[in-house]
Structure 1
Amino acid sequence: MNIKIKKLILPAAAALGGVVIPVLIYMFFNYDKPGLIKGWAIPIATDTAFVLGILSFFSRHISLEL
């Protein structure tokens, strides 16, 4: 396997999981509420806001490449 592909697998899986997992959790709790199922994008936006806040809090301890 190419070294560049090996380096790409973990970040790609984390990014995909960061999108898919919150949506699946949201849909699990709201599957029987047709009006709420349209709000599936909200957990993604909220999750992103939390991550950016955490990254800014720990910015001295995290590499600048992020």
Structure 2
Amino acid sequence: MADQAYMAGCAALAAGKLDEVLQSLNVSLSKCPPDQTSAVAKLHSLISLTSQQLQKSTS
């Protein structure tokens, strides 16, 4: 499930739909096994970057 949500986030990113990216990445993070520390860190980083971009695009 985490992989599917991540892939959906990547597709949304390619389509420029930042709100959908954020939603998909958060779902992926919630489903990601906590022992997958590098994946969790990557998701946190992508969520942070996407949030920043979303804030820039709405201001």
Q: TM-score range by the shorter chain?
A: 0.3 to 0.5
- The higher-RCO structure (CA 8 Å, 6+ apart) is 2
| TM-score normalised according to structure 1 size | 0.36
| TM-score normalised according to structure 2 size | 0.40
